[in-house]
Structure 1
Amino acid sequence: MCLRHGQTLWNVEERFQGHSDIPLDETGLAQAARAASLLAALRPTVIVSSDLQRAHETALALARVAKLDVAVDKDFRERGGGAWEGLTREEIAARWPEEYVSWDAPGGESVTEVAVRVGAALRRWAARLDDDGLLVVASHGAALRLGICDLLGLPESLWPALGGLGNCSWSVLQEGRKGWRLLEHNAGTLPEPVHSDDRPDVQV
């Protein structure tokens, strides 16, 4: 399960956060507590977070309820924003109009670099699970979206088709015989059984 961190002041101000270590605001702390109360019911067995405090605080909220420790892995950091960190979208568009269109920050990480970094970390931690284990990764919007795309083996041309994650929303993935499957994306309620002619209950 991939869990995005709660709200920060920079989220509200639409500032590029990247590797900047911004804490949760009051709303973000409440979001983390709500998510924790729901996700604890799924009985996670491993919780790991980015080393940035907004993700770590979100993970700690779940860990307190689930009575687990939180491991930290810097490979789950957000996409590095280079010269854009701390700036609003309007400021970025005014100073770097061409780069803004492609969303490539000078001195920042490319989407490919982030996808490979986060995807590899997801595989590494998932490989440590017992057969009935549940991993919760507390990380960041762009990092998780790109890591999920890598995990699913999507070609880069299709990455924009996967939407973003809201604050303290999550995505649920499961590994089957033919690879990884995305069961839920940008969810804020507990997963429910799916009854469909598509047979999503079958591991394919």
Structure 2
Amino acid sequence: MNLYLIRHGESLGNLNGEIQGCKDYPLSELGKRQVESVARYLKNIELNYLYSSDLTRAYDTAKVIGQAKGLTVHKWEKVREVHLGPLQGLSRNEIYEQFPATLKRSILTSGINGTETTDALTKRCQYVIDQLQLAHENDDVGIVSHGGFISILLMYLLTGDQWPTLHRPFQIQNTSITHIEWSKNSNKPLIHYTNRTQHLESLMDDQSQVGFL
């Protein structure tokens, strides 16, 4: 199986500097342009199936990719962003002020009451991988998800249940692509690349010329 993890385009939450979690936001105007760029790039990548988080910013990204690829988008709530409860909708500084524990622990795994626990995230990662391997052993699959969940899923693949105790080094930018492969003779994943954003280079050039940056 070849698995392509795609982060959604920039959302209004991203634009406004808000920590989103599972709070729903639409794509920004820049996000829509990013999505068009990644959809064009993915035309040259084989995909048989396309899944998406059910949150608007991811699903709207997936719909454009699906149109470009001629694929139906299947909503899958298991790949939505980490639920951050009382932190959702706040800026990073507001979170640090109101919840000082986040100064020492990642916002995604702070353990603050009302946020998704690391145990729940571990079970979610295990379920997603198990279901993909059962249903798509010989397929090329795209999943449109979120920066936090993609980075945690990568950590789970590399380190298993101990992922919450380790530093999570991955940067996952808007509409970036991460490619993971499981060969037919091995259950061990091969990570070809993470956070690929070369499809945005021409968009960045266009923005600089018309004053978007």
In the TM superposition, residue 112 of structure 1 has moved relative to its aligned partner by 4.2
Match of 1:18 among 21, 26, 35: 21
1:84-123 equivalence runs, <5 A: 84-102=87-105, 103=107, 104=110, 105-123=112-130
Q: Distance in 2 between matches of 1:159 and 1:76?
A: 21
Other-structure match for 1:165: 172
> Paired residue for 1:138?
144
- Would you say 1:175 and 2:182 are equivalent positions? yes
Structure 2 CA distance for partners of 1:126 and 1:46, relative to 1, 3 Å: farther
Question: Quick one: which of 58, 62, 66 aligns to 2:61?
Answer: 58
RMSD, aligned α-carbons:
1.9
Q: Distance in 1 between matches of 2:102 and 2:22?
A: 19
Aligned-residue sequence identity (percent) comes to 24
Q: Deviations over 1:16-37 (max 9, x none)?
A: 1011111111111111110011
Pick aligned residue for 1:147 from 120, 144, 153? 153
Q: Comparing both chains, which one has the higher relative contact order based on Cα–Cα distances under 8 Å and sequence gaps of 6 or more? A: 2
- Structure 1 stretch displaced more, 147-156 or 81-90: 147-156
Superposition map of 1:11-50 within 5 A: 11-50=14-53
Q: TM-score, normalised by structure 2?
A: 0.81
The whole-number CA distance in structure 1 between the counterparts of 2:134 and 2:169 is 24
The answer as to 2:198 corresponding to 1:189 is: yes
> Over residues 14-72 of structure 1, what are the superposed CA-to-partner deviations in whole Å (9 max), with x where a residue is unaligned?
21101111111111111111001111211211000001011101111110010110001
More displaced 10-residue stretch of structure 1: 33-42 or 104-113: 104-113
SS at match of 2:175: coil
Residues 175 and 7 of structure 1: is their aligned pair in 2 closer, same or farther, counting only changes over 3 Å?
same
Contact 1:47–1:71, Cα closer than 8 Å, also in 2: yes
CA shift digits 1:139-188 (9 cap, x unpaired) = 00111111122233443267424312000001100013251121100112
CA displacement 1:101-131 (0-9 Å, x = unmatched): 2131431013442243134213313432262
Report the number of matched residues. 189
Gap runs ≥5 in structure 1? 191-204
1:36, 1:62 within 8 Å by CA — same for their partners in 2? yes
User: Which of the two has greater helix per residue?
Assistant: 2
Question: Structure 1-normalised TM-score?
Answer: 0.85
